[in-house]
Every structure is written in structure tokens, then in C-alpha cells.
Chains A and B, each alone.
Chain A
Amino acid sequence: MRKGSVAIVPLFLAISLLFWFIWFMGAENDNLHTVNQIANLQHLQDRLALAAVQKRYELEEANPTWDKTKVEDEVTIYIHNIMKINQIDE
């Protein structure tokens, strides 16, 4: 064995650390990602809440013959479509 070969140890450690870090950060990143996604969705829901109420009364005004369930179903479809565009609903 050559004398200097022990120098590989810190290098090896460093690479291990790097892999560990990727392993660790990867998981955390997924958590962050999830939190982010949910927060996003809720913001979107926030925004759409008003739109849903407005849409509901618009539909009600435009279609006086529809009953309440029908109007609300249509609102759901409307919101669902927006959610699709935002790649949330499938």
C-alpha cells in the first residue's frame, strides 16, 4: 500500500456525506413540495370561492327555471374545469 493512499478516506467521507445529504434533502424536499402544493391548492380555492358565489348567482339569474341543485351542480362543473386547467382535478 502506498503511503499516501489514506488520503482517499476524507474524499470517501465527503462523497458519502454528499449522498447522505441528497438522501436527506430529497425527503425533506418532498415534504416541502407537498406543503407547497397544498398551500397552492388552498390559495386557489380561496380565489375560486368568490368566483363560485358569483357564478352561482349569475347562473341563477340567467336560468330562473333551474332549481337549486342544478345551479350548484353547474357551479361545481365550472370550478372543476378551472381546477383541471390548473392541473389539480383529473
Chain B
Amino acid sequence: MRLNIITLSLFVSLNLYATQTQTNVLFEDTFTQGEVTNEYGDKIAYQKVKLQTTNFKVDNFWSKFHLNGKAQDNYENITTTALVKLTTELSFTCKDGGLDTEGCSGQKPFFINVNTLTNPDMKLDRLGAPLPEGEFRIPFDKAANYTSDRDDAFYSLDVFRDGEYYKAPQTPLAEDSPKNFFGYIKSFLGDFFSKDTATTYSESMTTHEQEVRGRYVANITFGLQKNYRAKRNSTIHTNEINTADEQKRISQIDYAQTAITSTTGCDGLFLNYDPDSIVCTGVSFFGLANWMPFFNNGEETEYKTTAVLEDTEVTLLTLAGKNDGVNYIDQKATVDTSNDTKSFASEIFKPVSFMASSVLRFLFGENSKTLTEVVSAEFDFTNPLPLTFFEVNNDNIAEFRHFALLGLESIYGTEVESCKVKQTKTFFFFPVGWDEKLFTKGIDTNTKFDMEAGFFGSFFNDSSEYSELTLTEETHTIPWVDWGTHDMVNLSTDDWLDWCKRNQGRQSKGLFGRVLDTFTSFILADTRSLSYDEQIDKLLRDDDWSVVEYKEKVHKALILHLKSLDLDSIEVGTKGTTTEFTIMKTMRGNR
């Protein structure tokens, strides 16, 4: 009995004394020291973490045979402090896709020249007003336009990649496992786009170009492969195109693609077309149309496209959508359930009233300014997608620039080519013949209309009906009839082409529908009044002119809306980044 009491009290006192063993984790704030970026431009930071185990107990067995032995040792405080290096790169798809991290990095295959970020033109918004500090809108430009002093565009690069990181494997994939590089990129792009387009590609690309294209898309999606990343101060070959190789040669990139839409119209994604019209005004989304003659009267429409631009846009849009968990295409598209195609809702297109010169250069080369209407679709992203660009100074990578992709803007411009018109001649309401004219953009013509001609002309002439138009006066002196002085209206080629645009049948509102009601052609510096157009309409209607064939081209450009990220704002866990953790050293403390 006594023994029991002793034992019991012993237990109680032991329990009172012995506090529980507990491990606490203590974090110190991250800090930087020495180099803040590594040679690849990734951010380096450090963090100390301390693991502290209090009241750690060790039970002793042999103490039972020892006079001074304690049955249990209690260590109040055992700690390990680790210094952890955090290397943060702007890439996230590897982590999400469960892919081999060797295939991913933060660097993207884009570069700008050194003065681009100080160019004030790059700091203007779509209306030409200044952007907030640190924001830029940088247009895409093609390799052919590159010179080392361009400071108003970004360019794309061809960087090598091992086959396993972008090509289909020899053995076909299991349907349900995208967890390999190729499967992932396939499902990644496929989820967003491919099933919705009715466009097929002709084999217009060489095998080499197809490889270049494959690795370009993979390079944007995943970042450059770790092995082929570029180091600071290394060289890129800006005067070469598509020459990347295993020796880490980096060149510019360019490839074009012929896409064929076999159709009843223009199937595809960026479509807003009227199948009945003689003009198919669509721009298919996936891989289409920087230069697109879109007059279509056959079964098939062929588009020759600068696919680099399209691939850049599609991939970035997909990436941003993945980052945000939103399908930006779906959001802005309408689905035609009858043939399962998507077209962009015309409401998303806005008229463009200001444009950087490099966009024009991209579209037409240096001096041409023949766009008649320009609209753009803007995408804004919720979580800005981080991207790392190269900043190049005379073929040397001077620095890595980190940006957040706030949004992108897809620009569509139509350029009039020509218009064929005809006049039905009548004699007292009976058609007696016809006259045909062809007006081609760039070829100046002058068509004169005698406003006081004919029997009724001199009586019913109302000069207010053509008061806005270009007038000249002509005096005809034919001996036996006194013509007197007649008002002559002069119509130029541009007048005719504008009129054609307005009167081309069911597409009278132009390429993107209602948008154009408010559109003013800024490139032509079109300040003509509404009544000017109305008067031409009336004049030509009264004179029985109609449109036979109207041809336009659609051009497409891309502008990225970027925000400069300074290193401080890139933190571990910033959306769209991946961080590697490395223990640099550990320190121990006892008791």
C-alpha cells in the first residue's frame, strides 16, 4: 500500500515537472547579401530558419545500474539554424505540370535593345497618354526589321532546346498522362485553342522551321532549358536567323506559315464574318495573319502569316490564362454551336487612335501609311505574368530585365487594296448599258461629275447637296449651246475607296462591326465631316454606281503591356515564379 502511494506521488510530481517536448520553427526576415542576382538573372535572397526543440527527453536504461544515474535527461533547448538560399526565377509551368525542372527556367526568348526602356514612346498608353511610372507598352517586331539601334520594339530569339523538351516522344503517350514535357505542352495549348479552330496548316514550313517553331513555343511556355540559358555578357547573334545550336548559339527567329482554311467562310477563332458577303473579314486566331489578303471567292482561303507573332501571342495568352486560372479566349469569344467554332465578340474590339511608329514599321515597313482602319483587342490579366527579357547592347546581353505582363493588345489593321465599281446606265429608267472602273490604292485618279449636266441638271441642281465636296468650276463653250459655268465635283481614288468601304453590301459597317461607327481614321488624318461622306453617298447613288469587288488586307500586330519588376518586388511565392531552396550552412546550438 505504502509503495503504491509513493509510486503515485512520484508520477504526479514527475508530470508536474516534466513539460512537453515541443518543436518550434522561427523564421527571420529574408535578406540579401552580396550578389542579388545570379549570372542568369535569377534573384537571390537568403533566409534564416531556426528549429528549436524544447524539453527534449532522453530515457536512460543503464541508469538503473548506476548510483548517480538519472532515468531521464531533459534538454531544454536544442536548435538548428539553417541559412537557406532562395533562388527565384520567373517560371512556373514546370512546378504545375510536375515536369523535370531541367526543362524550365525563368528566361524567355525575348530581347530588347538597351535604350528601349528609356524611350518615351514606349511609355504611352493606347490613347497616347503617359503610362504610370515603370509601365511600358512594347510592340513586337520581326527579325528582318532589327538593327542594333532600334529602341521601340521587342524581338524574339531562337534558343536551342533538347528534343526531349519539346518533341513528341517515339512511343505514343498514354492519353491521360500529360506529365511529360511534350504531353504537357500539347494539353496546355490544346485546352485553350486547338480544338476550336478549323484551320489546317499546309506544309509550307521546312522541317528545320518546324523545329524552330516547336522550340520557340516551348521556350516561351517553360522558359529556356536550364542547360541553354544565357549568361550575362554572353553574345547573341542578331544578324542570324534560326541558327541556334547545342553550342549555345542564340540567334533571332523568323518563320512564316501558310494556313489554309477550307471553308464556307473563314472558320477560326478571330472571326466575325458574314458568309454571304464577298469579303471574308476574319482573322483566324491560332497561327494566322500578319499579312492576310482576305478576299475570298474560292473554296479555300490561304493566309500567309508571320507565325512568330501569332505563336508569341497565343502562347503568352495561354500562359497568362493558366496563371490566372481563366480562359481569356472563352471569356471574350462567342461560340457557334452549329460548327463548334469560336469567334471573338466584336464588342471587344476598340478603335485604335494612337500607335507607336514601330507598329507601323512592323506592319508595312518603314514609310507606308495606308491603313484605313485599326482596331485592337485588349486583354488584361489579373495576376501579372512575370517574364524575363534580355537587354542587349551591341549583341551582348547587358542585363536581364524582369517584367510583369499586365496585358497584351492584339492590333488589326485593314489596308485597302482596290475597288471595282460599276455604273448602270439608264435611259428613262431602262438599263441601257454599264460602265466599270477600278480604283487601286496608291494610284491617284480624279473623277469629275458635272452637277449641272443633262436636261434636269440645270433646273434641279441644289448646290447644298455637294457643298462639302471638292469643287471646281468649268466653263464649256460649245458654239451652239451655252453651257455656262458648271459645278464639277472631283472625286479622288481615296474618296472612291472610302465609299466602297461604306457600301460593300452587307458588311457596310466594316471589318469589326459596330466598333467602326466611332472610328476615325487617324492615319489618314481624316477630319472630314460626316456630311462629306453622306454627300458622296448621295452623289454616287443618284448616279447609279455600285460596288462590284472590294479588296482589303488585314494586318496584325502585337503589343505587350509590361510593368518593370525590380528585384525587391520579386519574392518567393510571387505568382508565376519558381524558387529553389538550397541550404548554405547550418549552425547548431545545444541546451
Contact = CB atoms under 8 A, between A and B. Distances in A.
A67 interface: no
Given A26-B63, A61-B573, A50 B79 contact: no
Nearest to B71: A30
Contact of A90 (B20, B75, B80, B82): B20
A83 B21 CA distance: 10
B53 A27 contact: no
B147 interface: no
B335 to A, nearest CB: 33
Contact of B25 (A29, A34, A72): A72
Contacts of A52: 25, 49, 51
A30 to B, nearest CB: 4
Interface in A39-90: 41-42, 45-46, 48-50, 52-54, 56-57, 60-61, 72, 75-76, 79-80, 83, 88-90
Contacts of A34: 58, 60, 73
Contacts of B58: 33-34, 37-38
Contact of A29 (B62, B68, B572, B586): B62
B564 to A, nearest CB: 23
Contact of A89 (B23, B64, B86, B579): B23
Contacts of A49: 49, 51, 80, 82, 84, 583, 586
A42 B573 contact: no
Interface residues of A, number: 34
A18 interface: no
B47 interface: yes
B24 interface: yes
Nearest to B591: A38
Given A30-B63, A38-B58, A49-B80, A89 B25 contact: no
Chain B interface SS verdict (over half): strand
Residue among A22, A49, A75, A89 having the largest count of chain B Cβ atoms under 10 Å: A49
A89 B21 contact: yes
Contacts of B25: 52, 72, 75-76, 79
A46 B80 contact: yes
A54 B86 CA distance: 10
B2 interface: no
Given A38-B78, A88-B56, A27 B66 contact: yes
A42 B581 contact: no
Contacts of B22: 80, 89-90
Nearest to B583: A50
A82 to B, nearest CB: 8
Contacts of B24: 76
B24 to A, nearest CB: 5
A29 B61 CA distance: 9
B583 A27 contact: no
Contact of A30 (B21, B62, B581): B62
Contacts of A41: 53, 56, 78
A81 B20 CA distance: 14
A60 B573 contact: yes
B84 to A, nearest CB: 5
B27 interface: yes
Contact of A26 (B66, B82, B86, B590): B66
Nearest to B57: A90
A50 to B, nearest CB: 6
Interface string B238-251: 00000000000000
A51 B425 CA distance: 87
Nearest to B75: A38
Interface of A: 22-23, 25-27, 29-30, 33-34, 37-38, 41-42, 45-46, 48-50, 52-54, 56-57, 60-61, 72, 75-76, 79-80, 83, 88-90
16 contacts: A23-B66, A25-B62, A27-B66, A49-B80, A49-B82, A49-B84, A50-B581, A56-B27, A57-B573, A57-B579, A72-B26, A79-B25, A88-B23, A88-B56, A90-B21, A90-B22
Closest 4 CB pairs of A and B: A26-B62, A49-B82, A45-B80, A45-B51
